[in-house]
């Protein structure tokens, strides 16, 4: 939000949190939702490091999934057992780019779904000839 200090180099102290608001950009690598109001995300930043994020007390949209490039804002939390993680501010996740379409595995999955829909719905003769590689 406007007026809040933002720093990508903020570090957590030995306490529970550092009140400095941090902005990070990266690609979502993994998302785990334990409940409607508790979600964990692994964010890969440009320097190829994985940063753990947590959304506590608010509902992270289900559309935030692996493969999206996002910008997030949060406050560093540090604990001896968990290490350091970024506690996301409510509604602070902005999707910058949907890179999932560039992923070969995602494309293969979408193609398989399309083929299944085509088989179920029936296909015109000229499309079958092209798909099968032979004459109808």
Q: Which domain holds residue 108?
A: 103-136
* CA 86 from centroid of its chain's CA atoms: 15
- My answer on whether 54 and 117 are in the same domain is no
**pLDDT tens profile 24-74:** 999 999 999 999 999 999 999 877 788 999 999 999 999 999 889 999 999
* Strand-pair category, 94-98 with 50-56: unpaired
Same domain, 127 and 68: no
Burial class (CB in 10 A: 0-12, 13-18, 19+), 68: buried
pLDDT digits (tens, 9 = 90+) for 1-31: 333 333 343 333 344 566 899 999 999 999 9
pTM: 0.61
Question: How many CA atoms within 13 Å lie on the side-chain side of 22?
Answer: 20
Distance of CA 27 to the CA centre of its chain: 6
- Specify the number of domains making up the chain: 2
């Amino acid at each position: 939000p406007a007026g809040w200090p933002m720093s990508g180099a903020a570090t957590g102290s030995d306490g529970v949190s550092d009140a400095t608001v941090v902005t990070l950009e990266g690609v979502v690598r993994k998302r785990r939702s334990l409940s409607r109001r508790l979600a964990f995300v692994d964010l890969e930043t440009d320097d190829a490091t994985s940063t753990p994020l947590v959304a506590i007390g608010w509902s992270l949209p289900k559309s935030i999934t692996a493969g999206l490039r996002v910008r997030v804002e949060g406050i560093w939390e540090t604990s001896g057992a968990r290490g350091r993680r970024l506690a996301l501010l409510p509604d602070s996740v902005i999707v910058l780019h949907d890179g999932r379409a560039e992923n070969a595995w995602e494309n293969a999955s979408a193609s398989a779904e399309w083929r299944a829909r085509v088989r179920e719905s029936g296909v015109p003769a000229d499309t079958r000839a092209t798909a099968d590689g032979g004459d109808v």
